[in-house]
Structure formats: structure tokens, C-alpha cells
Amino acid sequence: MLALNLMSSPGSGKTTLLERTIREMGTQLEISVLGGDQETQNDAARIAATGCKVFQINTGTGCHLDAEMVARGMRALAPLPDSVLMIENVGNLVCPALFDLGERARVVMLSVTEGEDKPVKYPHMFRSASLMLLTKTDLLPHLDFDVERCIDYARQVNPRLEVRPLSARSGEGMGGWYDWLQAQWAAQRQDAIA
């Protein structure tokens, strides 16, 4: 199984990205979602509306998911072999980066509404990620956000960080995310065979 840890600030678009990914890739990849939030079932309800299996973990005052929470969620979800488990971590650019959830890769999402300096302000999050999704790019015409400066900051912190700008609302750039996702799934399957 391919497990990916999606981490970001609140409001970066994790749930919207997952909804679109499930709708557009769900026939090619078996996807289930483990969601983390301090309260509510709001995101889980949105994911469930796509037909995807989802389990919501509410952390109360906690600011991240941990391995025990993920294990409990996986028992409830019972994801199939050769499937993809998306872990939608609690919105926070600090704590989630400190906890290994057994994921193959970490994906950090940064919205263009947040400011291009977040990678240098919260370096551990970006240093620990394999991929940065620069989200909500459809809003760029309305913002003072320098995409190249943001990417430069991210690569100062993590020179190997892959970057995919996209908009889950408009669909622009989603192909790059899907290509990366399929490559990770293929690599996971190859590792399982070896």
C-alpha cells in the first residue's frame, strides 16, 4: 500500500485536492482517506460524498496525527493491498512534521494566499517533504505572490524538493500531481515485489 502524508496550514486546500483526485483518479487507483482535524466530521463528509472510504480522527487539543491514531484509522478503513492511503493531517506547519506515520512520502501544500516566505519560516516541514504542491494558483492574478521566490525559498531549505503548482478548483496543473502520484504508486509496487 502507498501511504502519503499530506501536511499544510489550515485552508490550503487539502480536502478540495483530495475530492478532485478521488473523482479523477479513483478509477485508476484504489484510494482511501484518513483525515485528521481537531473537531468536526466536515472534511470526512466531503470525502465520503465522492464514494471514497474515509475515517476521521478528531485530535481535540492535539495539533497532529501520530502513529497510534493512524493504526486505529487503518483498522477501521481496512485499505486494500495495492491501494493508496491519503493521510490528511491536521492543518499545522509545525507539529505534523515531527511525527513519522509510516508514510512513503510527505507532501506539503502551500497556498498562494499564505505568503512566499513560509518555507523559510517553517523549514522543518519543507525539509521533511518530498513534494510541495503550490495550491490555489487560480488566485495568483489577485495576489502579490512571487511564485519563483517561493520555490527558491523552498529549495534553499530542501534542494531535492519537487514542486508542482496547481489549482484543484480549475484543474490547472493537476496532471503534474497525478503523474507524481502514479510514479509513487508504481515505485511502491516495485519495492513490494523486490
What is the pLDDT at residue 192? Answer: 83
Q: Do residues 73 and 95 make contact, with C-beta atoms less than 8 angstroms apart?
A: no
| Full set of structural domains in the chain with CATH | 2-174 (3.40.50.300)
What is the pLDDT at residue 122? Answer: 97
Adjacent-strand bridge partners of 58: 37
pTM: 0.96
Q: What cell does 68 get?
A: 497510534
Angle separating helix axes 14-25 and 174-193, nearest 10 degrees? 70
Per-residue pLDDT of the chain in tens (194 residues, 90 and over written 9): 999 999 999 999 999 999 999 999 999 999 999 999 999 999 999 999 999 999 999 999 999 999 999 999 999 999 998 999 999 999 999 999 999 999 999 999 999 999 999 999 999 999 999 999 999 999 999 999 999 999 999 999 999 999 999 999 999 999 999 999 999 999 998 888 87
d(CA 111, CA 135): 5
Q: What cell does 121 get?
A: 519560516
What is the pLDDT at residue 190? Answer: 87
Adjacent-strand bridge partners of 52: none
DSSP 185: H
